[in-house]
Amino acid sequence: MAGSNLPQANLWEAIVQTGNPRLDSRSGQIAIMLALCLVPLFGVVGLVTDIGYMRFIKMSAQTAAEAAAMATIDDMHATLGGAITSCGGGVVCASTATACTANITTPTNSVQRGCMYAQKHGFNGSNQVTYQSGIGGTPPTATGAASASYWVTFRVIQTVPQMFSAVVGNTSGIVAARSSAAILGASDCVYAMNPNQSGALQIGGSASLTSSCGLFVNSNNTSALGTNGGGTLTAPEYDVVGGVSTHYTLTPSPNTGVSPTTDPLSYLPVPASPPYTCDYTNYSASNWSNPTLSAGVYCGGINVGNNTFTLNPGTYILVGGGLSTQSSNSTITGTGVTFYNTYDSTYAYAPISIAANSNVTLKAPNSGTYAGILFFEDRSAPASSDTYGGGSSAVYQGVIYAKNAAITMYGNSSINTKYTLIVADTISLVGSTALNSDYSLLPNGSPITRIAMVE
**For range 89-95, the mean pLDDT:** 90
Q: Is the Cβ–Cβ distance between 363 and 336 less than 8 Å?
A: yes
Q: Is the peptide bond before 252 cis (omega within 30 degrees of 0)?
A: yes
Separation CA 418–CA 431 (nearest Å): 19
Query: Which pLDDT band, with edges at 50, 70 and 90, does 1 fall under?
Result: very low
Q: Based on C-alpha coordinates, what's the Rg of the chain?
A: 36
Strand duo 352-354 + 323-324: pairing = parallel
Q: Is the Cβ–Cβ distance between 403 and 424 less than 8 Å?
A: yes
pLDDT above 70 for 3: no
Highest mean predicted confidence (pLDDT) among 145-149, 235-239, 446-450: 235-239
| Mean pLDDT score across all residues of the chain | 87
pLDDT above 90 for 44: no
Residue 129, pLDDT score: 93
Separation CA 54–CA 41 (nearest Å): 20
**For range 125-153, the mean pLDDT:** 86
Residue 385, pLDDT score: 97
pLDDT above 60 for 42: no
Separation CA 95–CA 137 (nearest Å): 12
pLDDT above 80 for 403: yes
pLDDT above 90 for 58: no
pLDDT above 70 for 54: yes
Tell me the domain boundaries of the chain: 38-185, 263-449
Structure-derived torsion over alpha carbons of residues 245, 254, 237, 436, reported in degrees to the nearest 10: -10
**How far, in Å, are 42, 70, 139 from residue 47 at the CA level?**
8, 34, 35
Residue 169, pLDDT score: 66
The model's pLDDT over 243-287, given as tens digits with 9 standing for 90+, comes to 999 989 999 999 999 999 999 999 899 999 999 999 999 998 766
Residue 4, pLDDT score: 47
Residue 271, pLDDT score: 95
**How far, in Å, are 30, 49, 166, 167 from residue 36 at the CA level?**
10, 21, 17, 14
Environment class of residue 323 by beta-carbon count within 10 Å: exposed (0-12), middle (13-18) or buried (19+)? buried
The model's pLDDT over 342-380, given as tens digits with 9 standing for 90+, comes to 999 999 999 999 999 999 999 999 999 899 999 999 999
The model's pLDDT over 156-202, given as tens digits with 9 standing for 90+, comes to 998 877 666 665 566 677 889 999 999 988 889 999 999 999 999 99
**For range 70-82, the mean pLDDT:** 87
Q: Is the Cβ–Cβ distance between 389 and 410 less than 8 Å?
A: yes
Separation CA 307–CA 309 (nearest Å): 6
Number of neighbours of residue 195 by Cβ within 10 angstroms? 14
Residue 198, pLDDT score: 97
